[in-house]
């Protein structure tokens, strides 16, 4: 799609942003490049519809592909071609989930590319089979937001019902990973975060109501079995699933989804809240349900910072405010302060590297105008002269960064800038409440 003419709907959004940032043309220049990046470089048309690469890796991640196209939901009501593209992405995701709901990334064809040497149930379609709860949350969210943005009820069909039933059953199995799960994963000759310990069984857990995850949205292994932000995301999208199913006349399955969501939410509140001596009650990043906690946050979404962005709780919720204060402090081992920026990084990238995705989420969930303005300035100062956003960058030397072509980060920056103008993805939690103080 590199040579395609920019659609009129894109031009309209670009003109809005250009006018809003007449006083700061550098912001507009960054937005233009980043907003167009996914559309111009990562959407691959074929006889099956639209395949979405992450940028510098030719595979389609269920998570990344959802986040990359998410800002285009803003255009979908008025632009039928964009709506059609989004629908094709959703249908591709459904196809892959039905192939293997434990896999996180897929090939365009059954060509055996990717991590075929991993010790797990690989197929030629699968690029990587790291099981991540959020990989199943994102397609539910994208389907729901697409339906709400367009009113297109043709996505409320038997295939969606089948996909939701598969996800429900898997999350039920993984409520007791130790006893019930068939999933194992091991990779040879790699860093420890790229494989699961205990003969591939991964982080230990006892039943709590939450659902187990092998890996984080960074594709790094979980320390403990319950990844709290991912469970929060699951609780939210299970309510989306119920609404779609009830609309389809599938109330029984809809109520099963909602009941699972309540169990997960109850598990979070009972087992993932820690009384911190400085910050008060905060959410842990991970727990095993047996009293062990991992207190940190990671820039990848879902994150604890992203709680209001996901819709689990409001930005002014007391436990969230306490958690946010913890996250943006030296108590969080992945919070970094440098000459050019301060923000959240990840154990996935080098020490002292901040993530643009983390900055975007911090900006979209910030209540204060001062904080959001500071984040806009950090984006301007940290693209390393490329005009694009990256995975991680050195907080002192932003010209040193990982992943030159990382479409997820470009889309998240675009969504943040649009949110600054009060332009939100229809029906997303941030569209419901936007703070301007």
| Full 3-state SS string of the chain | CCCCCCCHHHHHHHHHHHHHCCCCHHHHHHHHHHHHHHHHHCEEEECCEEEECCECCCCEEHHHHHHHHHHHHHHHCCCHHHHHHHHHHHHHHHHHHHHCCCCCEECCCCCCCCCCCCECCCCCCEEECCCCHHHHHHHHHHHHHHHHHHCCHHHCCHHHHHHHHHHHHHHHHHHHHHHHCCCCCECCCCCHHHCCHHHHCCCCCCCCCCCCCCECCCCCECCCCEEHHHHHHHHHHHHHHHHHHHHCCCHHHHHHHHHHHHHHHHHHHHHCEEEECCCEEEECCEECCCCCEECCCCCCCCCCCCHHHHCCCCCCCHHHHHHHHHHCCCCCCCEEECCCCEEECCCCCCCCEEEHHHHHHHHHHCCCHHHHHHHHHHHHHCCCCCCCCCCEEECCCCCCECCCCEHHHHHHHHHHHHHHCCCCCCCCHHHHCCCCC
Q: What is the CA radius of gyration of the chain?
A: 20
Taking alpha carbons only, the member of 177, 178, 215 closest to residue 195 is: 215
- Sole residue written with tokens 């939210």: 236
pLDDT for 432: 76
Cα 308 off chain centre by: 13
282: which 2 tokens? 């905060």
Q: What is the pLDDT of residue 2?
A: 43
Quote the pLDDT of residue 14. 98
Sketch the domain layout of the chain as residue ranges: 132-431
Spacing of C-alpha 28 from chain mean position = 25
pLDDT at position 3 is 53
**Separation of alpha carbons 33 and 259, rounded Å:** 43
pLDDT tens string, the chain, 437 residues long: the values are 445 689 999 999 999 999 999 999 999 999 999 999 999 999 999 999 999 999 999 999 999 999 999 999 999 999 999 999 999 999 999 999 999 999 999 999 999 999 999 999 999 999 999 999 999 999 999 999 999 999 999 999 999 999 999 999 999 999 999 999 999 999 999 999 999 999 999 999 999 999 999 999 999 999 999 999 999 999 999 999 999 999 999 999 999 999 999 999 999 999 999 999 999 999 999 999 999 999 999 999 999 999 999 999 999 999 999 999 999 999 999 999 999 999 999 999 999 999 999 999 999 999 999 999 999 999 999 999 999 999 999 999 999 999 999 999 999 999 999 999 999 999 999 987 654 44
Topology of the domain comprising 132-431: Glycosyltransferase (1.50.10)
Tokens of 197: 């310990």
Cis previous bond, 302, omega within 30 = yes
CA distance 210 to 174: 8
CA 262 to chain centre: 21
Q: CA-based angle 140:145:146, to the nearest 5?
A: 100
**Phi, psi dihedrals of residue 281, rounded to the nearest 5°:** -70, 120
Paired with 52 in beta bridges are 43
């Amino acid at each position: 799609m590199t040579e395609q003419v920019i659609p009129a709907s894109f031009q309209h959004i670009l003109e809005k942003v250009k006018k809003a940032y007449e006083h700061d043309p550098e912001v507009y220049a960054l937005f233009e490049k980043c907003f167009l990046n996914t559309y111009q470089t990562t959407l691959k048309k074929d006889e099956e519809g639209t395949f979405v690469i992450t940028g510098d890796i030719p595979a389609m991640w269920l998570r990344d592909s959802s986040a990359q196209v998410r800002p285009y939901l803003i255009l979908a009501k008025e632009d039928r071609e964009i709506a059609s593209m989004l629908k094709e992405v959703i249908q591709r995701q459904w196809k892959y989930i039905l192939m293997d709901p434990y896999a996180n990334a897929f090939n365009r064809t059954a060509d055996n590319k990717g991590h075929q040497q991993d010790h797990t149930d690989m197929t030629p379609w699968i690029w990587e089979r790291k099981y991540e709860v959020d990989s199943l949350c994102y397609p539910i969210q994208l389907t729901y937001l697409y339906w709400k943005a367009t009113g297109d009820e043709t996505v409320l069909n038997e295939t969606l019902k089948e996909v939701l039933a598969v996800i429900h059953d898997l999350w039920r199995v993984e409520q007791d990973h130790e006893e019930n799960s068939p999933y194992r994963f091991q990779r040879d000759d790699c860093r420890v975060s790229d494989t699961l310990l205990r003969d591939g069984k991964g982080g230990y857990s006892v039943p709590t109501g939450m659902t187990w995850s092998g890996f984080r949205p960074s594709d790094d292994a979980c320390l403990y079995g319950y990844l709290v932000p991912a469970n929060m995301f699951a609780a939210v999208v299970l309510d989306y699933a119920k609404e779609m199913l009830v609309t389809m006349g599938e109330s029984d399955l809809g109520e099963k989804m909602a009941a699972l969501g309540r169990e997960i939410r109850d598990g979070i509140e009972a087992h993932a809240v820690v009384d911190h001596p400085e910050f008060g009650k905060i959410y842990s990043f991970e727990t095993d349900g047996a009293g062990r906690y991992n207190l940190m946050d990671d820039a990848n979404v879902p994150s604890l910072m992203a709680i209001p962005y996901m819709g689990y709780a409001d930005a002014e919720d007391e436990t969230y405010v306490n958690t946010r204060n913890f996250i943006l402090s030296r108590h969080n081992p992945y919070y970094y302060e440098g000459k050019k920026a301060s923000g959240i990084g990840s154990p996935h990238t080098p020490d002292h590297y901040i993530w643009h995705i983390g900055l975007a989420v911090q900006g979209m969930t910030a209540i204060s105008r001062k904080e959001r303005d500071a984040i806009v300035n950090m984006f301007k100062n940290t693209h390393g002269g490329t005009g694009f956003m990256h995975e991680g960058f050195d907080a002192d030397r932003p010209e040193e960064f990982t992943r030159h072509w990382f479409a997820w980060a470009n889309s998240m920056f675009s969504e943040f800038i649009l949110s600054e103008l009060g332009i939100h993805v229809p029906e997303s939690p941030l569209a419901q409440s936007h703070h301007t103080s």
